[in-house]
Amino acid sequence: MGHSDVSDAQVADLLKKIDKNNDSKIDWEEFLEFMVTVAKKQSATFGALMQTAGGAGAKVQGAAGSHTYLLEERSVFSRTVNKLFKDDADLADRLPLNPDSDDLFHAASDGLVLIKLINTIEPGRIDMRTVNKG
């Protein structure tokens, strides 16, 4: 998640804090509780992360407001889309995405990339015959 300077001891300490019942497993409720805590502290946490990661984050403005993200996330998603859909005729005009630019946001703006990702996770979930590709 953008941290390369975290020690094994720090990770173990974090996992102990999340594992409320001390069964050495993070169950669904513990995970959700942790994510709620992260969401409440998101802006402060992201700001701190950007400072400690040397400005490794960015912000994109959209119709619904702004969204902050890590550059590493953008890069990983772009490379994943490139790998999964390199031979997909429907996305040929959009790929390859440059993982170091905002290509991902432009390529995904009409939803076709998302539809392809959903169908990769669960084949046939969206009938491609019903999708307007124009």
Within a domain: residue 105?
Answer: yes
pLDDT digit string (tens) for the chain, length 134 residues:
556 677 788 778 878 888 888 888 888 888 778 777 766 665 555 555 444 444 567 766 667 777 777 888 888 999 999 999 999 999 999 999 999 888 998 898 889 999 999 999 999 999 999 988 87
69 and 121 housed in the same domain: yes
Quote the number of domains for the chain. 2
Which pLDDT belongs to residue 28?
82
Residue 112, number of CB atoms within 10 A of its CB: 19
8 and 65 housed in the same domain: no
36 and 84 housed in the same domain: no
Distances in whole angstroms, Cα of residue 91 to Cα of each of 2, 41, 88: 29, 37, 6
14 and 75 housed in the same domain: no
Residue 109 exposure: Cα atoms within 13 Å on the Cβ side: 11
Q: What is the three-class DSSP state of 134? A: coil
Structural domain containing residue 81: 58-130
The token pair that represents 54 in the structure block: 């040397």
80 and 32 housed in the same domain: no
| Model-wide pTM > 0.85 | no
Backbone angles phi, psi at 104, to 5 degrees: -55, -45
